């Protein structure tokens, strides 16, 4: 870019200088009678026509160089080998998981020597609904990232239905777990496309059903084109609470065996949050549900609540016990 900033005005200056020199030289030839004024004007016109394609060629060369530089950076990303990959001998179960999850003395560090998770050990039975609470930075979201193999554990083991998650294909593992993050990513498409998330075979009724379950239908009805309304890049045309409800609708539509809500209702008002949690509670026997939240009021119907502090479980029990000690 610095070369272009120097080269472009230089070319313009040289072109203008050449025109001035030709006019001066041509004026002398006209004065001596060697050429006519018309010939000089015609020659200057031809010269201008000559400069135009030269400048265009230079612009094309600049665009090509810029594209090549961008392409190199893009291919570096495409060619990057993921740190987390399928094991050589993965096991592909013939059915969806039931949802029994076991953390067996799990440890993990983002920075060597500074453990983010320490000796975490607990089991979630299939169909249970549990919550993980703790202050910011206590390791709640890290447990979810380890469960979905965004990172690999450094010690201990995580199992689903008795299978080590490292022994399962990544695509299968992540199909079994539906994650709704605090700030779900939305594509620059319609509301319907963001709920479907690539499944183009769904009917409109299925989309509406998922939206109703997530209590997103009231605001969707008020959008200019309903479910066909464009949401903008990363849902910029929607509020935080609306984006969260679209994220929840997406997860419910895909009907995973394990549903993880990572602060998924933090931007909702109390009434809407209560309605959404009622829907989640109705799924209790169908799926294993993990809720990460700060508001204790949303966790009353959890089978067990685990309290994290500095990456370790410091307390666990039903709502009444944890609420009294919180």
Domain's final residue, options 11, 44, 78:
78
Structurally, how many domains does the chain consist of?
Answer: 2
* pLDDT at 285 (0 to 100): 66
Whether 179 maps to a domain, the answer reads: yes
Both 145 and 52 in one domain: the answer is no
Q: What is the pLDDT of residue 149?
A: 95
User: What is the secondary structure of 91-125 as a DSSP string?
Assistant: ---SS-----EEEEEEEEEEETTEEEEEEEEEEE-
Walk across the sheet containing 258-262 and list its strands: 177-180, 258-262, 288-292, 129-133, 304-309, 312-317
Domain contains 87: no
pLDDT at res. 4: 55
Residue 141 lies in a domain: yes
Structural domain ending residue among the three candidates 78, 110, 144: 78
Q: What is the pTM of this model?
A: 0.76
Which residues are registered as beta bridge partners of 134?
Answer: none
Domain final residue, candidates 63, 78, 93 = 78
Helices 270-282/240-254 angle, 10° precision: 10
Query: Does the residue 83 lie in any domain?
Result: no
Q: Is 128 helix (H, G, I), strand (E, B) or coil?
A: coil
Under a CB-based contact definition with an 8 Å cutoff, are residues 244 and 260 in contact?
Answer: no
Residue 187 lies in a domain: yes
> pLDDT truncated to tens, each residue of the chain (326 aa)?
555 556 667 767 776 777 788 888 888 888 888 888 888 788 878 777 777 777 777 677 778 878 888 888 899 888 888 888 998 889 999 889 999 999 999 999 999 989 999 999 999 999 999 999 988 889 999 999 999 999 999 999 999 999 999 999 999 999 999 999 888 899 998 999 999 886 767 788 888 888 888 888 889 999 999 989 999 988 888 888 899 999 999 988 888 999 999 988 888 888 888 888 888 877 666 789 999 987 777 788 889 999 999 999 999 998 888 776 66
Give pLDDT, residue 326.
60
Q: Which domain holds residue 306?
A: 101-325
179 in the same domain as 139: yes
| Residues 183 and 255 reside in one and the same domain | yes
Contact 280, 261 (CB under 8 A): yes
Rounded Cα distance between 293 and 280, Å, is 14
> How does DSSP assign 272-311, residue by residue?
HHHHHHHHHHHTTTTSEEEEE-S-GGGGTT-SEEEEEETT
Instruction: Note whether 232 and 275 are same-domain residues.
Output: yes
Angle at the Cα of 116 from the Cα atoms of 115 and 122, rounded to 5 degrees: 105
Kindly report the CATH number assigned to the domain that includes residue 321. Answer: 3.40.50.300
**pLDDT on residue 182:** 86
Q: Kindly state whether residues 299 and 228 are assigned to the same domain.
A: yes
Residue 120 lies in a domain: yes
**Gap between the Cα atoms of 60 and 201, Å rounded:** 43
Report the Cα 53 to chain-centroid distance in Å: 44
The pLDDT, as a whole number, for residue 201 is 74
Question: For tokens 């419910």, what's the residue?
Answer: 252
Distance between CA 287 and CA 127 in Å, rounded?
Answer: 5
Whether 38 is covered by a domain: the verdict is yes
295-308 per-residue burial string, b: 16 or more CB within 10 A, e: under 16: eeebbeebebbbbb
**58 and 140 share a domain?**
no
């Amino acid at each position: 870019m610095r070369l272009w900033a120097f080269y472009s005005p230089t070319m313009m200056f040289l072109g203008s200088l050449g025109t001035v020199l030709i006019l001066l030289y041509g004026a002398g030839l006209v004065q001596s009678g060697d050429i006519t004024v018309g010939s000089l004007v015609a020659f200057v016109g031809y010269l201008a026509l000559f400069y135009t394609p030269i400048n265009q060629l230079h612009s094309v060369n600049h665009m090509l160089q810029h594209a090549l530089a961008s392409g190199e950076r893009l291919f570096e990303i495409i060619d990057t080998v993921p740190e987390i990959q399928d094991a050589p001998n993965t096991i592909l179960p013939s059915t969806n998981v039931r949802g029994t999850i076991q953390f067996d003395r799990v440890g993990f560090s983002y920075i060597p020597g500074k453990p983010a998770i320490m000796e975490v050990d607990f089991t979630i039975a299939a169909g249970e609904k549990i919550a993980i609470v703790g202050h910011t930075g206590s390791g709640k979201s890290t447990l979810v990232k380890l469960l979905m193999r965004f990172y690999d554990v450094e010690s201990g083991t995580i199992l689903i239905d008795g299978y080590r998650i490292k022994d399962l294909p990544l695509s299968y593992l992540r199909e079994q777990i539906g994650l709704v993050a605090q700030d779900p990513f939305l594509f620059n498409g319609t509301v319907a496309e963001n709920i479907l998330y690539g499944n183009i075979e769904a009917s409109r009724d299925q989309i509406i059903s998922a939206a109703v379950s997530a209590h997103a239908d009231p605001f969707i009805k008020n959008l200019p084109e309903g479910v066909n309304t464009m949401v903008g890049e990363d849902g910029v045309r929607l509020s935080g609470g609306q984006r969260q409800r679209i994220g929840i609708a997406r997860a419910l539509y895909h009907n995973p065996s394990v549903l993880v809500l990572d602060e998924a209702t933090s931007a909702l008002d109390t009434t809407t949050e209560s309605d959404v949690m009622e829907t989640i509670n109705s799924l209790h026997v169908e799926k294993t549900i993990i809720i990460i939240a700060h508001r204790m009021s949303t966790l009353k119907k959890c089978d067990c609540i685990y309290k994290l502090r500095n990456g370790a479980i410091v307390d666990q029990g039903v709502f009444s016990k944890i609420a009294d000690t919180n």
